[in-house]
Structure 1
């Protein structure tokens, strides 16, 4: 960060704190970024390995198999979070535990920030960056971070994969690259201070729309998880009965709880698809929508107790009004904290932010499902395309109404100079 400040006179003697700060931001780029990639992959992998060994021991006290079997299961779980899929007794499992994926992305983001701070002293200062001088600090560090992460993932795949499990190397490499590109590299850009310099000249409308999209996604995700947990609590007796039928004592309970946490983001996306209207399937020939629920035989898994009962929806058909209302409220909230006096400006912010949030949630819907077992269980997924269309419509229209309504209220209740001053501050 300090490297982005203009250089002072070399004649002035630097203090010990300045020297220490300079050394902290000019660490060897190759070493720091490369090891950062290995650390980002290795830290989450180590947690999965520990959970695998703990699960192996808890199931039967280690009477069967060996610790390496638990290590292999933990490694395969980590690889599945990178889209590898796995074959179990000849049955292909393709669903991704998005909880593992999210933790890996968060770790990459945090380590990327630390790398950015450590190498921020390399390259030109802020004046040089603004003048267009070539600055390869972020691309170089990002490349090395990605290389370390991908090599660790490939080594894990080589050691843990077998002909029987057959995880996909191509998907592991692809997802490792995507995670580094979407989480690690932005973390480096933010930590090094380059992101602040590069985005300083973005129009206020773009920044406001991004703020709307981020806030809407956070609120919508939290609401979906809350609805899922509420549905699970309301039928907790069924979940408890399923747990009792599994056997295995406390070890089985612990394993199911850990698996449930790994799949909690998936459940949130399924719930969001249900609230938006299209719904999802829990097996071939099934449908779970607000208007109609058609179920068949289900596997013994406690999280499935949150599913609604079979039959016509009744009052649940009105749940489709929730997404546009949420978007309206969130955009109005954002408009309150980031005001504008112009209706067109507010409308663009609300619609653009809502559409961006809808696209991102639609992408999440395509990733949340997949094959989870043989036969009917090869199709357990949200209706991704329909979810995307409904999200775009609900969030876009809700964002438009919320932005225009809040702008109208602010123009009536506040002196127009105050709102215009808010616009001027945003532009600065």
Structure 2
């Protein structure tokens, strides 16, 4: 008897779709490229030196217009500018500048992020097998600490050489904060560690609201600064013509302006929230009025309002600061349906965190551009604490409760 033949040969065919090896989650990829301490401490030191080289490149462009200055002097000036971005003092002749270019500081934070990520990966590759949450946290903390050691040692050495032993602590603490922030973000993202999953819902909502509120502060301060620049365009142009930049000077001045942009935004934000700011001893710029004295020929100062009592409609700008706090409260109230107490806790946490962020921003935006009248420039801190922080907190709480009440009534309508 003849047996039937199977014509569908695909049923019996064995194929290999890929030669790729699938790695189990948590298993190391291979041996580390460098020992963990070398990668972390050395990476932190290299990140600091890379920042110095970056600043030196910009300074050398300006040096082409004044090539008679000795090159070692120019390089020393670049090192002092790097220290200034970390809270140091830039000495120009007999004048000390301590107003921090926060844009440059942010750039150095970004420079430390890949270093923190690399340091964590080298530490992780040195450990075989799975890593639990506690060991993962130790790896993150150890990576950040070692990156901060390397970065801070370079800052302390430069400050010791250019500013003297008495002023080492200022840029050293600033460098420590920059490296911890940048290295921490990099190591944290590389680790995949997500501790907030076990946090209370109201606290997670508060963190989301704080992030949204912080973004709102950036938006409203940028809007206020843009309006001021447009309104003062004539004064800015006059001051730029008086300085008389050449082609290289225009390029360098544009970079300096970008470096001080976050600092200027901090001033604008303090003005929006009613605290105001000073541009020297005996001066004040606020929503209620402006009082100015002698100012240096800095083009951005052309955007300052004219002296005198402000119009009543200027107080309407206060609503922009309130709107940033309200955004924080509304975002904090979103998510899972919680009771009134949970919503209140989330909104209050968001408003408080945004207020603390604003206060830190205002403190970092203060400094001096010289001596005598040009000291104590920037946002007024006590007024920021007593006016700005409560305003953000109250607006976040009220907006969060309103959002919760509206959401409660929506299903019934």
Counterpart CA distance in 2 for 1:323 and 1:25 is 52
Q: Which moved more, 1:298-307 or 1:321-330?
A: 321-330
Query: Aligned match of 2:29 in 23, 28, 35?
Result: 23
Query: Aligned match of 1:329 in 321, 327, 330?
Result: 327
Counterpart CA distance in 2 for 1:360 and 1:162 is 30
Question: Is this contact kept in 1: 2:220–2:320, CA < 8 A?
Answer: no
Gaps of 5+ in 1: 1-13, 417-428
Gaps of 5+ in 2: 1-18
Question: Is this contact kept in 2: 1:53–1:70, CA < 8 A?
Answer: yes
Query: Cα–Cα, structure 1 residues 134 and 39, in superposed 2: closer, same or farther, change >3 Å?
Result: closer
TM-score by length of 1: 0.84
Query: Aligned match of 1:139 in 138, 141, 144?
Result: 141
Could you say which residue in structure 2 is the equivalent of 1:86?
90
Query: Cα–Cα, structure 1 residues 75 and 134, in superposed 2: closer, same or farther, change >3 Å?
Result: closer
Query: Aligned match of 2:205 in 199, 208, 229?
Result: 208
Query: Cα–Cα, structure 1 residues 357 and 95, in superposed 2: closer, same or farther, change >3 Å?
Result: same
Q: Which moved more, 1:400-409 or 1:86-95?
A: 86-95
Counterpart CA distance in 1 for 2:129 and 2:383 is 48
What is the SS of the residue equivalent to 2:378?
A: strand
Query: Aligned match of 1:273 in 245, 270, 275?
Result: 270
Q: What is the CA deviation profile of residues 220-266 of structure 1, one whole-angstrom value per residue up to 9, with x for unaligned ones?
A: 12220231122112221211111111124223322322221111111
Shift of residue 369 of structure 1?
Answer: 1.3
Question: Is this contact kept in 1: 2:44–2:151, CA < 8 A?
Answer: yes
Shift of residue 39 of structure 1?
Answer: 3.0
Counterpart CA distance in 1 for 2:206 and 2:32 is 35
Question: Is this contact kept in 1: 2:28–2:127, CA < 8 A?
Answer: no
Q: What does residue range 180-329 of structure 1 map to in structure 2 within 5 Å?
A: 180-193=179-192, 195-196=193-194, 198-314=195-311, 315-329=313-327
Q: What is the CA deviation profile of residues 242-301 of structure 1, one whole-angstrom value per residue up to 9, with x for unaligned ones?
A: 111112422332232222111111100100110111101111111111001111121111
Shift of residue 150 of structure 1?
Answer: 1.6
Counterpart CA distance in 1 for 2:207 and 2:30 is 32
Q: Which moved more, 1:179-188 or 1:236-245?
A: 179-188
Question: Is this contact kept in 1: 2:329–2:348, CA < 8 A?
Answer: no
Q: Which moved more, 1:80-89 or 1:21-30?
A: 21-30
Counterpart CA distance in 2 for 1:340 and 1:118 is 43
Query: Aligned match of 2:102 in 75, 98, 102?
Result: 98
The structure with more radius of gyration: 2
Q: Which moved more, 1:252-261 or 1:116-125?
A: 116-125
Q: CA RMSD in A?
A: 2.7
Question: Is this contact kept in 2: 1:361–1:388, CA < 8 A?
Answer: no
Question: Is this contact kept in 2: 1:55–1:70, CA < 8 A?
Answer: no
Shift of residue 182 of structure 1?
Answer: 3.1
Question: Is this contact kept in 1: 2:98–2:367, CA < 8 A?
Answer: yes
Counterpart CA distance in 2 for 1:119 and 1:153 is 25
Query: Aligned match of 2:364 in 356, 363, 367?
Result: 367
Query: Cα–Cα, structure 1 residues 319 and 353, in superposed 2: closer, same or farther, change >3 Å?
Result: same
Shift of residue 101 of structure 1?
Answer: 1.3
Q: Which moved more, 1:296-305 or 1:102-111?
A: 102-111
Could you say which residue in structure 2 is the equivalent of 1:120?
124
Counterpart CA distance in 2 for 1:266 and 1:52 is 20
Q: Which moved more, 1:378-387 or 1:113-122?
A: 113-122
What is the SS of the residue equivalent to 2:23?
A: helix
Could you say which residue in structure 2 is the equivalent of 1:37?
44
Shift of residue 135 of structure 1?
Answer: 5.9
Query: Cα–Cα, structure 1 residues 136 and 327, in superposed 2: closer, same or farther, change >3 Å?
Result: closer
Counterpart CA distance in 2 for 1:218 and 1:281 is 25
Question: Is this contact kept in 1: 2:40–2:115, CA < 8 A?
Answer: no
Query: Cα–Cα, structure 1 residues 77 and 17, in superposed 2: closer, same or farther, change >3 Å?
Result: farther
Shift of residue 162 of structure 1?
Answer: 6.2
Counterpart CA distance in 2 for 1:257 and 1:134 is 43
Question: Is this contact kept in 1: 2:332–2:346, CA < 8 A?
Answer: no
Shift of residue 330 of structure 1?
Answer: 4.0
Query: Aligned match of 2:150 in 148, 165, 189?
Result: 148
